[in-house]
Structure 1
């Protein structure tokens, strides 16, 4: 195998830990490509790569380099599939928004039919499909808002519902960078309150940011994966060449041994036919030269083979690291998936997680007929807290209530933020006779929380609407609507109370 002088000068010998030589030029070239490929994907990955580059340029020890490489590869393997998770959450949010809008447009069969078509479309597995669904949905939103505006029928309830749906859509998206920042700014405007004339423009801004954000993530992921595939192809190419070189070395060794054996046989024959000592001595000297030459050639082949084995071990080490980091990446994806189901403000589950858990609990109830309680909770006069003390106080109130609800339930129970200032509890194995006492205790606990903001005491009370799964329920929507109606009754009859409708 031929090895250039540059390659020898840019390598380091193997160390005691079993790691083999590091080709500085190849690593620097790979790092520069990696920096270009990962730009805008993950700040932590960029930092790790830059640290590796700085370490390599300092010509430090292999141990430190290997540590830095492991850190980079750990970050590398955490990146793929984020786009697919984002598509899943965004598609779910679109479906929820379409479902909510159907309930508001029962008087408009044309728009309702268009919404049914959006809901009937398969789940988005690509940005282009999601883009089409989002555009269709917001065109319907635009038409609905325009129709309602023209007929002066946009009520405060409808306006609030649309704003809440848009906030929930933004909350359930996981865009980073400038598009994530833009969506957070829009969400803050929605929290502060916008007029009916701003809704259309706000919807269009959300559409553009979702489409451009998804497109940017798709392109970044495509570039990143292309870089990884290129490096894997490079590893495969080096491995194939190593195998070819190994076969050549083995063939040379076999030919060398065969040639040596043949020469020794000839030498033995010559010596056996010699008539005097002088002639025998000449044959022996000639034979020794042949043997010495063969030994030198054998040593050279052994050196080439040792170098080749080191290169193969280096490739195998790279592949082994990829295998380990794949496992870490799988674990990271599971953690990322869990994060996508959490409400970013309160750190309880969000509406998407609630929908999935609700379906699961309903199927479980259909099978076992256990007592499953649905409690819909609303913070009383929450708008007054925002108006009087600001949204920071409102956010703090939401966190306090969410924490109190979490502490009040069992591990087998479930809590989610339904939207705005509403939460939903799914309580397992609670007898109908125990519901009132249990939830009254929860209501009083929250009422007695000492909540102060900027030196002022703020009173927090909650209204609760409660139901359980019933034999008459055909789908999960029925019990939710029943709990929502009970909550409305609790609020309209004075608030700070529990209303049960089984």
Structure 2
């Protein structure tokens, strides 16, 4: 009886523990569901907050929301959360950098507005308040930008209604001058004329790099137009002269060839007649030798046949002389055709050289932006077909503006040449390098393994950091930053360029002499 009571007591205790376990499980389950709801709400709000800032982050957040809707173990989502955490951290660094740039731009724009004459005192006070305010967030800087834009709008209205608008006009003129200067430099670089026109254009480009007054800029613009027209006319006249010479030689060859054809036909007919007559004489001699028993009586006839043979021999010699003249004429025509072929080959080579120059950057002697667009499109189409690894990297010289400001544009040009040559030497024949813009270069490496492309790009980075630059008796170390990526999925060349720019920005944000991949 005692044992039964003990068992009943134990069963009762176990029942109580089971009830408590069920309650605990239900509470944990409810808590877990609440946490999932809170997590989903947080993910949704993060998606809204970060929407449009980073496409990769948008995609990852969308995928995470979809996973949360599925009845899966939430612990399996930890790797995805780690990836999102990394993307959010990267975006935070990018946002902080953008906030710093925005802060600098606010101060620069504010200082520019402060220098405008004729602004009311109230507007100046508001401007000082904006510039003196400290910013602790990107949202606050956005508010300052909006207030600054309002002041700009009020300033423009005031200036437009007053007589003192010359300063604004000068500012606009200055912007147009800078734009015109850059366009002229780009035009001179792309044309690359030879001879006197080319030398004068290079001299003008060097003057534009240093900077010229507005009046001189107008004069140089007119001079560039004149030199471009002269160079174009000169090339057209040279081409026309060459074509006229070729047409004249071809017309002469056609005439002499027709004459040779006629002479050849006549010689062929004469040879036929001569052969027929000779055969007739030979047959007569054979017949006479058979029929005549006394050759002495046949002598007069044989003498006449001999005279006929002599006439045939003379005619044959005349034909041989004409054939010799014909052969000499054909030999002359052959030499003329060979000469024309060599001339056209030389001209074709000149055209190929000119076409190659059109796709070469005049300063660095690597390919230019036009060649880059063609090659990138070509490699993109090959990638679509074969799906081999296709790497594109963007290389930027660190603090290149400081070199131009400290040592002059000539030193900057020298550095660009040396760096472009060094990059080219570190690559293989199948790789492609082009000057992208200013101090930026693009490198395309098709069908290269991950280990090899990292090796080549690191070799480029390390080789440039070891270059012994010396400007104005000072040793200068120059480094580069590299942003790289691969074609994947539905990528287009435009997507790749944008991604390399983002990767380059991340590399430069991390410090000098860095390489950053976005895959």
Q: Deviations over 1:424-467 (max 9, x none)?
A: 22244678999889756644442232222464312212344444
Q: Deviations over 1:104-139 (max 9, x none)?
A: xxxxxxxxxxxxxxxxxxxxxxxxxxxxxxxxxxxx
Unaligned runs of 5+ in 1: 1-147
Flag the structure with larger Rg.
2
Which one of the candidate residues 343, 358, 373 is aligned to 1:355?
373
Partners of 2:385 and 2:286 in 1: CA distance: 91
Alpha carbons of 1:332 and 1:185: their partners in 2 closer, same or farther (altered >3 Å)? closer
Partners of 2:174 and 2:499 in 1: CA distance: 23
Partners of 1:435 and 1:250 in 2: CA distance: 71
Q: Deviations over 1:462-498 (max 9, x none)?
A: 344444445464x423432443355456667865544
Which one of the candidate residues 398, 417, 423 is aligned to 1:399?
417
Partners of 1:318 and 1:183 in 2: CA distance: 39
Taking the TM superposition and a 5 Å limit, the aligned residue runs for 1:127-206 are: 150=169, 152-153=171-172, 163-194=181-212, 202-206=220-224
Partners of 2:506 and 2:174 in 1: CA distance: 20
Q: CA RMSD in A?
A: 4.4
Q: Determine helix, strand or coil for the equivalent of 2:393.
A: strand
The alpha carbon displacement at 1:221 in A equals 0.6
Q: Determine helix, strand or coil for the equivalent of 1:152.
A: helix
Partners of 2:323 and 2:220 in 1: CA distance: 68
Q: Deviations over 1:26-85 (max 9, x none)?
A: xxxxxxxxxxxxxxxxxxxxxxxxxxxxxxxxxxxxxxxxxxxxxxxxxxxxxxxxxxxx
Partners of 2:220 and 2:314 in 1: CA distance: 80
Unaligned runs of 5+ in 2: 1-166
| Contact 2:192–2:362 (Cα < 8 Å) also in 1 | no
* In the alignment, structure 1 residue 242 sits paired with structure 2 residue 244: no
| Contact 1:271–1:284 (Cα < 8 Å) also in 2 | no
* In the alignment, structure 1 residue 223 sits paired with structure 2 residue 248: no
Partners of 1:276 and 1:205 in 2: CA distance: 104
Which one of the candidate residues 494, 501, 510 is aligned to 1:477?
494
Name which of structure 1's ranges 450-459 and 299-308 shifts more when overlaid on structure 2: 450-459
| Contact 1:267–1:283 (Cα < 8 Å) also in 2 | no
* In the alignment, structure 1 residue 304 sits paired with structure 2 residue 322: yes
Partners of 2:317 and 2:458 in 1: CA distance: 88
Alpha carbons of 1:236 and 1:216: their partners in 2 closer, same or farther (altered >3 Å)? same
Q: Which has the higher contact order (CA 8 A, sep 6+)?
A: 1
Alpha carbons of 1:279 and 1:427: their partners in 2 closer, same or farther (altered >3 Å)? closer
The alpha carbon displacement at 1:356 in A equals 1.0
Q: Determine helix, strand or coil for the equivalent of 1:172.
A: helix
- 1:32 corresponds in structure 2 to none
- 2:136 corresponds in structure 1 to none
- 1:378 corresponds in structure 2 to 396
Report the structure, 1 or 2, having the larger helix content: 2
| Contact 1:358–1:476 (Cα < 8 Å) also in 2 | yes
Which one of the candidate residues 334, 338, 360 is aligned to 1:316?
334
Could you state the TM-score of these two structures normalised by the residue count of structure 2? 0.55
- 1:417 corresponds in structure 2 to 435
Q: Determine helix, strand or coil for the equivalent of 1:452.
A: strand
| Contact 2:192–2:357 (Cα < 8 Å) also in 1 | no
Alpha carbons of 1:465 and 1:250: their partners in 2 closer, same or farther (altered >3 Å)? closer
**What is the number of equivalent residue pairs in this alignment?**
353
